[in-house]
Amino acid sequence: AYITWGKIRDAWNVKRDAEGKPAADGKGGSQGPLGVATSDETDEGDMKVSTFEHGKITWTPQGDKLEVTVNGKVVPAM
């Protein structure tokens, strides 16, 4: 099991449709389009990164920027 926390966990838990876009009737967390975590949070330069079965979430603390990628496509974070 991998630990997902903070801003990355918040973005992972957002309910999303199958394409990864936020949707009230979608699913979040491991049941959502990203799937289960495949890594703990790691540092890549100034970013924090967590990977999932079908994508990744990056968070840059400076500027508080989140980026969510599902199946190779960047989607809205929240």
Q: What is the mean pLDDT of residues 30-42?
A: 97
Beta strands in the chain (DSSP E): 42-44, 47-52, 55-60, 65-70, 73-75
Unique residue bearing structure tokens 């949707």: 23
Percent of the chain with pLDDT over 70: 100
pLDDT at 71: 97
d(CA 35, CA 33): 5
Determine phi and psi for 14, rounding to 5 degrees.
-60, 130
Domain spans, the chain: 6-75
pLDDT in tens, 6-30: 999 999 999 999 999 999 999 999 9
Percent of the chain surpassing pLDDT 90: 97
